[in-house]
Structure 1
């Protein structure tokens, strides 16, 4: 037995020690988080229990308890019952041992449920010693990053293989040990050395010792100052909360996180491996499942609600395929988010990006074809590029895929050609398919013709479970409330305003003219006496006094111009961000707004800003007028209330009483109830006959005619379409003017 064998054992021992060290360093960092979290979590549990009325114990015991005497004794909450204990409860007149036992058992079950489900919210505006300690402890792990986690995982896997081999190879470490070992022990030692040699050689070639050493350095570097930790938390709160959920075990409901997929598909997805070598961001559990779903099913629609990180999931899929040797990828998206896509890919992965847009797009496309990477282009530009031959594209990503639901549109046809010729495709949309099953079927048909052909209106009519089962092979959707337990609160307020005399006069003129869109913005046409504008100023000023940023949405450019002039003397105003603003400029406006110190205002046309742009710097949202479709408002609000938001978001909608706004709010409430009852669960919108939206034109006609009757101005000769084309009334009917 020579020096070479002893050297192999020594190298293996050093590698095993480094693996143990990095695992220990990581374990201590995790324990520091748990220690800081425990008192905060216990206090949150206590608050929840103190808020649950004692009557809830009836629900747990199916009404068997008599609790009148307990409440009369002053024990009005579940927390108070637990504090009282058996002895105090037995002193209450009419309460016997059996009742006490049942009551305490029910209270403990509720306590256990609260303990498992309560979410810890970190208030960035009111830091306390406890939350500061938690943020500082988390920062160590966030700063160490995904590389440290990879090192720990690698260390665990290596240790499992190294430790038994080193134990068997121990006699080789010394000549006398080997001489004293029996034949069987010697044979086992030589066999262990033979297995150790390739292990340590492979680790050296992969620079694993350096990986372990760097991870240990990062984990032992120690926390920075409290101020630096809080600043970092504001910038990367999603990563902090992701780690917190992982360490605390407060993961979302597994079925919800997996989109309620059938068991056979969910099992296949869970078994899918996910490489992370080219990825620079940690994934939440539901995000890793989404990436695996796309890989396992090959051609899918990811329909996660906005704010859940669909882009990160797509990048995880790209990084995995790049690790497997794929070299060419294509992302097609609206022009407004081109810059955001290139930034995200460069920040979250090691992949090369190529912007295929603008006058030089053909040259850029040729360069991408030659060198590879992730090409990022628009729907319109895609039409000018030749569709690929089979197998050359690793993944075809379509963002805001609802934009290609019309099969007759040229952009839809171009996307369909590319999807057909790519082995893998990932369509993404946070917009539920809210009109008809036929439109959803059109998207599905680009990915899996068999599923599309098997899908009919009957599946939707049968309810959400039947529909989910029908589309499960190609469709995955999760909702914020199911998987983002740490998301700050969202408060909606309708700020009803009485029209001023000047507003009312402008509104009556618009009704008389039958101009639906003028009716909707009449409250801003005479800004010097606008009641809505005055309230908007007050909201923005209050936010500014609290150092909060505000985003103001309107459907109308001229309303945004009025608002801009009205706010000129206050906090910095950015925008307006409209459909006419180039994509790169839109992103720059949002970046400048986010970077502005203290209070600031961003003005945005609601349709233009509802796609792709992240506005979580804003914690106050103002919607100048009710929108025709509930999803338009939901999407706009979700740009601020999304993963990464660290403050509660307040939404102020400014409707006026007695006119078009009141009628729209009533219709929106009805649509939203239907939408929540059906679409959020079934992933397509109202498919039952009484739930399908009337067209915008029909809605406008009804409202205008009703208002003309109410105000006695029925001499109008036309009704304005919502998109600006005028409708002309002839013999009591309504026709589109040529």
Structure 2
């Protein structure tokens, strides 16, 4: 009897749970959104997309985003409940996507600059109240990571200095000067589908066809006087800048890596007076762009947007932002009054459904609306003949096409051919029309006479914020220990010698003692552990850059000192779908030779990951002309040995070694020391009395620099008691 009662009670409880689950299915925001999205879907199917349906579509999309964010962070939900909620939200999102595919005009309602109308705000409040929720004033925006997945976001921001700029100059007048004549209307070609034939024209036309727009002759240009002292342009760079100076305003600059696209873009902006200038870049090259801007156009202030942009200079002429934070700033950037925009590694926007692609296209459209002839430049090393459809977004960014047809000058050029896609001659003529719009493509082989046979290009990178802070704190800890050691030696010195200011001889001795003790030190930081941590922090960034090179220009050699850095690189290449070979110290001779053969003979193996110790000598890898040094060696000799794996007799292309350097760390100083010792080594080989540097020289000099800088900062801060430095 008791058991029966228990079973009955248990059954009642199970039934209650089932009923409660069914009740929950009909409670909350999701059922409200589901009913509304069905109404919009039916309206689109019937061809009755009125203002009410469009407004409902926009509000549903915004509330789905908001509910996804709330569901992800709701600690009261079990994992099973969270998964169920996300599944239901995904179902609504799928219906929205299918609906927008049928009615493309709905997509414009999701643009970042689109504001909610009063009616939409009222509808949003109605839906929230129907779901039993309080209306929320702010709607968070969606963001995707590098893989396209949704991540937590912060609200769009406007940096304080940008507000100050607006207050200082509230009337940013659009510039309608120099509008290019031409209707841009289809006449003979009306009714023809043209974008497909335009893309196919790059595949149908055989080898030998030009891949570069006509450019001014380098001899006719006089640009030297416009350059900072000590800088010179190679002829192929001057030609491109000359085109901008003569009035051309849209460029797809597709030179191979190593041919100086950054300098060309900055100087083209100067020639076109395209300021303020917006530069959108991958995070890995953000610092390098700022440095190059200061180098090539020092009279034009540059500012870099980090995070929410609190440190942005709103009055700068050049604004550099990376793709990863563009979503936070796209609002104010669209109203800033830019007269030029550069998109680096422009193949990053090839996926038009991605957030970053949409943001870039929105900014381009808004800039063109304010300044009909702005300077627009897309930079990429990707060969034009590979996946030509990937250039759809780039051409749209440049204003050559829209979603369905050629625009403006390009349409006029196509009309002027007097051909249609039904005629075979159309494809060659159409290809030339596109190239004349501003495609600039030079290979290293094309300009080999202008290039050094071998060059080292530094690629400064910014470390992840947390890791970067940790490494800089470790440097400060080491500096404090060196300072304490210096003052202890100064206090206990018995020679009686008194030195005004810093005793540089004692500094070198202290650095030497620290270097000698480093191997035995069990706690605290030393120069070796710091450099290793920097290498680990750079590993992913260096591998990403190597992957870009491999995709763009072919085989790449990747060098690292430590096994864990090699591991990170190989994992990165695996994720990117790049085949690679590997040379490590623990390989058998047979395995080592197989790795070399795979890289040199198999066109599918795009990268070889090499240990500086195991592969620094004795290998011939000249099938590649690009090399990435993920970690800095301790001597120029080691660096040269690594580069000589590809820069050797038989190499037919100019060689570029890319050194990845962590900005704002001791890495920068080590690179400078290697270069200074390289000069000494060269003079030694020429017969001078200088000795070639060994690794201890670089290590010692790095510590000397660290200690000297710390002592100079102490002196600048004012006198301090020695005992405090020792014990405090």
- Which one has the bigger helix percentage? 1
| TM-score in terms of structure 1 length | 0.33
